[in-house]
Amino acid sequence: MKQNIYMSNSFGKIFKITTFGESHGSLIGVVIDGCPSNIEITDKEINLELQKRRPNLNEFVSKRNEMDKAKIVSGVFNGKTTGAPICILIENKDLKSENYDKIKDILRPSHANYTYLQKYKIFDHKGGSRASARETASRVAAGAIAKKILKILDIKIFAYVKSIQDITANVEIDDLKNIYKSKIYCPDKIAEKKMIEKLKSIQSEKDSIGSVVEFVILDMLPALGDPIFDKLNAKLSYALMSIPAAIGFEIGDGFEGTKKKGSTRNDLFDLENDKIVTKTNNEGGILAGISTGMPIIGRVAFKPTATIGKDQKTIDIYGNKKTLKFLNDQRYDPCISIRATPVVEAMCSLVLVDSYLLNKTNIETSLEKTKKI
């Protein structure tokens, strides 16, 4: 019997994570291999990151009531990483699997059940299984550890909701510290107000809406990333496009750069405080796939959430015409970017740590050169 045995559940080359578990299974989690020893980390620090993406956080996200409390079960001793594989577990508590039993044979528009069935000939229909955004909690947990390593290197990562449909935020560097003071993770107060009104309108229509998350990486080290196939921007694209519902990626001025002339777009080099910089940053902090030391800036586009509150015409797995009806107690996010924001931060962190370790043969020595642990 022909079988498909490959599933890409792992990410990274040295700092490597493997996520596991299903949306409606007893738990989800992550194993992290290749983490340097003596990095201080606690359950509390991981949980602070998880609280940023957990459901039922406010009226604009899924009402699934998960507390998302992480538990480190290996690889940490006396509050420090040992160099052994780190395993983190997160229990699933608020399951309503019976809702999905009613629609298990229906092909849900823009969902994963059709393609998973085509590839694996079996699909756990409860909550979307591995295709569910529930899996991203494991990435955020791993990202919490990656962020601790980046903190040693003084690298700072921010992500925020840049736009919802046609409403775009205007955010300056000084605004980034206020991202998580906003319930929708948009630090531009004027844009935030308009976005909230738009979200309320979309909810009243029982619909969903598309959006964009921008990420900004400050105090970057130069020389991260490798030529040709392991370019840093390619790795970021690979990582961020793996987030459920991501449909587009751009770095620097992205597609807007196609409207410019080279004479006006090229980033001219200059010397500032004895440091080589560029006068502009249209490349987004990466040249030839290698970081320049300038801020890395990019964006991820997310499609409107596939689950909506409206009835949709479709077929079942047998080819019979069906109507996918919305269930009164069904839970979904009307706009994915809100809870995707901390996931974007986590994936950027994982890419940078892995790229940093790839540049070094002795992490302890290299970290000491930069800053004491």
The beta strand positions in 92-200, using DSSP E, are 156-164, 167-168
Q: Indicate if the pLDDT at residue 128 is higher than 80.
A: no
The answer to whether the CB of 324 falls within 8 A of the CB of 103 is yes
**pLDDT at 56 (0 to 100):** 76
Q: Indicate if the pLDDT at residue 236 is higher than 80.
A: yes
The 10s digit of each residue's pLDDT in 57-86 is: 888 888 777 788 999 999 999 999 999 999
- What the block records as the tokens of 9 is 């559940």
Q: What is the set of domains in the chain, with CATH numbers?
A: 10-370 (3.60.150.10)
The answer to whether the CB of 224 falls within 8 A of the CB of 232 is yes
Please, what is the angle between helix 337-359 and helix 232-240, to 10°?
Answer: 140
What pLDDT band is residue 371 in, cutting at 50, 70 and 90? very low
**pLDDT at 2 (0 to 100):** 59
The answer to whether the CB of 74 falls within 8 A of the CB of 86 is yes
Q: Indicate if the pLDDT at residue 138 is higher than 50.
A: yes
Q: Indicate if the pLDDT at residue 330 is higher than 70.
A: no
**pLDDT at 366 (0 to 100):** 46
Question: Which amino acid appears at position 129 of this protein?
Answer: S
Cα–Cα dist 117/129, whole Å: 12
**pLDDT at 351 (0 to 100):** 98
Question: Which amino acid appears at position 347 of this protein?
Answer: M
Q: Indicate if the pLDDT at residue 172 is higher than 80.
A: yes
Provide the b/e sequence for 185-214 (b: ≥16 CB within 10 Å): bbbbeebbebbbebbeebbeeeebbbbbbb
How large a percentage of the chain has pLDDT more than 90?
Answer: 79
Q: Indicate if the pLDDT at residue 89 is higher than 60.
A: yes
Q: Indicate if the pLDDT at residue 209 is higher than 90.
A: yes
The beta strand positions in 43-103, using DSSP E, are 70-74, 76-77, 80-81, 86-91
Section 34-44 average pLDDT: 97
DSSP state, 126? G
Look over the chain and give the mean of its residue pLDDT values, rounded to a whole number.
92
**pLDDT at 329 (0 to 100):** 60
Number of H helices, E strands in the chain: 9, 18
Section 184-213 average pLDDT: 96
Residue 250, H or E segment: strand 246-251
**pLDDT at 59 (0 to 100):** 85
